[in-house]
Structure 1
């Protein structure tokens, strides 16, 4: 079965919306060297450049193709939102964009209202139709086909022209079954949930596609008001002929890797507008002259240069080609930045991404009961044996401590080390069955008990262009060999890695990658472990876990939420779902003439609080 591609994140007090992590991330904690941005009379620059590792490929952030960190960080400058996270991960409301109000507990009803001055960059007001489109597209309620059966190996879909098929990352919008109520002025929309939902305040942040443009392109209606009215009517009437066209536009038209010839495809409603985009090289943003919100652009022009190599980012900063970087942390990167001394401001700590190994549960994998004629006990022992071989402590000691001397093995799937409840989680979740250093003798014994022929072949998938993961693979391969596993390289280059991971489970048995957090929502981990979850790339399925996740969705008591999370992890460790290894170290650096930089541990990382930036000449 094909499974949908998602690309995001990590829970802080619990779990929200995950994205397949890239290399960059926010810094939480750590140290910062002194900065001298000059006196108040120093003239200010009107432009800066930022290095980022991967290019924008979509402005549809909740489609399966667009749900990626490389897109959300750019969108954070282009679009406003109902709320945002500060550098301490506290939620801050932006009432200049709009408000979120819970108006009823039973049934749960939530009202979103856009501010009067919140407009798209073509002058059309942002309104209820935009959020209605977001709900409808991500809810799956209007699809006439099962998206999972239609996704190809590239993460795209090819269905008949008369089929409604929103290729979306499934979200909490599924919990809203009734058609929402739209206000007479079109500025408010009220959703009624089919059941209680613990994270109702995080269901929609307000970032969406312009409904009037989607309707124009799909239905051929130029007038914005008439277009949005027709769009709402099509959803309300379940007009499949119209919705089939709408879904195709929603899926395809806002994906691009160069500046589109039609400006309507890159409208924004936030502090910046997109001005130029050269494929795989850079994009430029300019201050939105019509923006009237509370988070305006403090620097008129921003260029984002795409530099994948972390050391090349350091060189670009040293040479004055860029002003701000957030490269993947390594000993070489840290040393290079420290050697620059006062030429740069540096920040070290940890980010909201964790490294982990997931096992594949589908037939053909040595970890699937189906491979052994349905023998669950045999498959479990093989999974347990393999996880016992993973040298987590050696990985941390050899690859992470050089960047973060305080680094330690992470032992929770859901909670971040140091967060509230983490110690209690680790004490009870069953992770102690897997020593940090691994246990080769135990692994050998388990394989013998399983009665399988050795060596057991394990195809191990990872990003071949990521040097740290290449090193981790070598350590894992060597340790596993000692217990009776033949771990073979099933990696893919960066360009093909996401497709391999999300769509080609038949080509690998275990995967190594990172999840990066975008939210502090308690249900963030749900898609990772639920049967059919969009982030459940190993195709794991447990009725017990599904039931616990259902309970967690509606539980609002923090103490009971932790109890449920512990129960979820107890099942994951008992079932040998996979393992977790470490929290990513974070390194950020910028020129001393750039002030106000406040990287976040979660997306948008180094782009966080851009409205506070100041650049001296």
Structure 2
């Protein structure tokens, strides 16, 4: 292995359950097993996407790209995943339960999953996943999860394929925090130059148990960098899978596009029941996707809903091509900065109550207006876990659900002079923002407000664009973590979107971050939503949609919404009815 890595002091790991020798169950690796019973022999499906498979380790912070997550959805088993804000467990992979409250302790118990090379997924893989996820001060650069609050491995049970993790405090994501992204035997073989897979597993466990910094640094370097892929001479070890599919090839086409080929994993024994034997992911632009779908070159394509494409897509719908809309985990929001003309809450509320947000969504969406789902919250996905509760508890409908009957009079009662100017930030290159701004300009003018066009050609981050604006028509993510919440709506008023500090909101965010009970977490998040409504700093307009198209006769293609809602996450449920 080439390259060097600067030495860093590793945090002391307490691994009470790793004392003594570690006896790992040995399973001989034979020939590739046959197809799962659910798979139709010879069947295949081709998916057009705009991503790339660059790493077999989606849990590495540097490699947690949409394309790598798409493939991981098909090639990695997991204890649970988030769907519309709700935790959906996979008991075919294993189970998770809280076993202690003081200290907060969680048991991760595998069923009997197997890697595609015939080696069992066992406690060594769990130990590695814990080491990578909990080592915030060491060499593993993992996607942050609640494991950062992990104190130690309280126990490791080799025969039961289980570990117990002790935390310094309760964490909200305890069911999904332990991500078995990298096979321990492959990592040990590659990083430590060990040929036997079971010996490699033991070496990984020993390094964690003994806090062997030299060996851990080798493991961390390989974990961070060694699972990156190209289309040339890929080591088959890197393609080992614990999910319903395994990658067999990454090939560059004559056109220059890269195609990823997968086949049903014969060693998979989980709860999913894939129908297709082969899956192909073909990289192409949105313009190419619709044409390829119409030509029969691909079966599924996900595209952005731009006006120029609506007529072409409508023609496909008339020929029984399927269309499904979801969202990408972001929403269009009209946010106000709590300074200048909006320093007082009454002024902010008067402005927001002058805005016909339904008209903004309809105009912004244009020919695709029906794809833009309205939302009454900024912290919950519509139809997701807790959304109805949040609507009720935040009292949004009463405050801003519909425009005021006389918005001009409300402005005057708030003490805001007629003609008060508001600088509105938006991205001019966005058709949605362009059209919505025009409606906003007309509607608030009738209430006596004057708007200045403070649009910019590109707007990746409104908080990085200075604070000269008073209102911003922007896309913001539905927050998934306390860090997300704090970045956009909490913390110091100099760093968040509305430029307003609210200590009550910060206290609620901290409590929400440590709420292990799903109902407590939901209610705390709804209370945070209420503080945003009470401060009158944001008006949700609509979720930002994505459109998924499929050929006739292909069923079950229901894309999951949200930032982690991969197009391929439900591929095990796809099937053909025209066979």
**Corresponding residue of 2:376:** 411
Greater percentage in strand? 2
**Corresponding residue of 2:226:** 253
Match of 2:106 among 104, 110, 126: 110
SS in 1 for 2:332: strand
Contact kept? 1:103, 1:111, Cα under 8 Å:
yes
Deviation at 1:319, TM superposition (A): 0.9
Name the CA shift for 1:558/1:270 in 2 (closer, same or farther; >3 Å). Answer: closer
**Corresponding residue of 1:567:** 527
How far apart, CA to CA, are the structure 2 residues paired with 1:249 and 1:257? 16
Contact kept? 2:486, 2:496, Cα under 8 Å:
no
**Corresponding residue of 2:7:** none
1:565-587: CA deviation from partner (whole Å, max 9, x where unpaired): 23212333455665432134554
**Corresponding residue of 1:63:** 60
Deviation at 1:423, TM superposition (A): 5.1
SS in 2 for 1:301: strand
Q: Say if 2:242 is the partner of 1:265.
A: no
Q: Say if 2:283 is the partner of 1:327.
A: no
Q: Say if 2:316 is the partner of 1:340.
A: yes
Match of 1:530 among 478, 482, 486: 486
Contact kept? 1:334, 1:587, Cα under 8 Å:
no
Q: Say if 2:549 is the partner of 1:589.
A: yes
Contact kept? 1:440, 1:479, Cα under 8 Å:
no
Contact kept? 2:122, 2:158, Cα under 8 Å:
no
Name the CA shift for 1:561/1:100 in 2 (closer, same or farther; >3 Å). Answer: closer
Deviation at 1:229, TM superposition (A): 3.4
Q: How many residue pairs were aligned?
A: 522
**Corresponding residue of 1:100:** 96
Match of 1:392 among 354, 357, 379: 357
**Corresponding residue of 1:291:** 268
Contact kept? 2:123, 2:156, Cα under 8 Å:
yes
**Corresponding residue of 1:47:** 44
Contact kept? 1:67, 1:169, Cα under 8 Å:
yes
**Corresponding residue of 2:128:** 133
**Corresponding residue of 1:355:** 331
Contact kept? 1:214, 1:246, Cα under 8 Å:
yes
Q: Say if 2:281 is the partner of 1:307.
A: no
How far apart, CA to CA, are the structure 2 residues paired with 1:248 and 1:76? 24
Normalised to the residue count of structure 1, the TM-score between the two structures is 0.68
Unaligned runs of 5+ in 2: 1-39
Contact kept? 2:361, 2:372, Cα under 8 Å:
yes
Where relative contact order (Cα < 8 A, 6+ residues apart) is larger, the structure is 1
SS in 2 for 1:178: strand
Name the CA shift for 1:253/1:193 in 2 (closer, same or farther; >3 Å). Answer: same
Match of 1:551 among 497, 502, 511: 511
**Corresponding residue of 2:37:** none
How far apart, CA to CA, are the structure 1 residues paired with 2:403 and 2:372? 14
Deviation at 1:294, TM superposition (A): 4.2
Name the CA shift for 1:384/1:346 in 2 (closer, same or farther; >3 Å). Answer: same
Contact kept? 2:332, 2:541, Cα under 8 Å:
yes
Match of 1:483 among 437, 440, 450: 450
How far apart, CA to CA, are the structure 2 residues paired with 1:132 and 1:358? 45
How far apart, CA to CA, are the structure 2 residues paired with 1:288 and 1:398? 47
Deviation at 1:258, TM superposition (A): 4.1
Contact kept? 2:110, 2:160, Cα under 8 Å:
no
SS in 1 for 2:70: helix
Contact kept? 1:60, 1:66, Cα under 8 Å:
yes
How far apart, CA to CA, are the structure 2 residues paired with 1:556 and 1:470? 42
1:210-232: CA deviation from partner (whole Å, max 9, x where unpaired): 23333444444444334443433
Contact kept? 2:46, 2:299, Cα under 8 Å:
yes
Normalised to the residue count of structure 2, the TM-score between the two structures is 0.72
Name the CA shift for 1:62/1:436 in 2 (closer, same or farther; >3 Å). Answer: farther
1:457-487: CA deviation from partner (whole Å, max 9, x where unpaired): 676569x5x6545655676788899635441
Deviation at 1:320, TM superposition (A): 0.4
Q: Calculate the aligned-residue CA RMSD, in Å.
A: 4.7
SS in 1 for 2:540: strand
How far apart, CA to CA, are the structure 2 residues paired with 1:87 and 1:531? 21
**Corresponding residue of 1:513:** 475
How far apart, CA to CA, are the structure 2 residues paired with 1:213 and 1:534? 42
**Corresponding residue of 1:160:** none
SS in 2 for 1:99: strand
Moved more, 186-195 or 600-609: 600-609
Contact kept? 1:477, 1:487, Cα under 8 Å:
no
Name the CA shift for 1:533/1:583 in 2 (closer, same or farther; >3 Å). Answer: closer
Deviation at 1:177, TM superposition (A): 1.6
How far apart, CA to CA, are the structure 2 residues paired with 1:201 and 1:86? 13
Deviation at 1:412, TM superposition (A): 0.7
Name the CA shift for 1:461/1:381 in 2 (closer, same or farther; >3 Å). Answer: farther
SS in 1 for 2:58: coil
Match of 1:74 among 67, 71, 93: 71
Deviation at 1:512, TM superposition (A): 3.0
How far apart, CA to CA, are the structure 1 residues paired with 2:87 and 2:523? 23
Unaligned runs of 5+ in 1: 1-42, 144-163, 360-365, 518-523
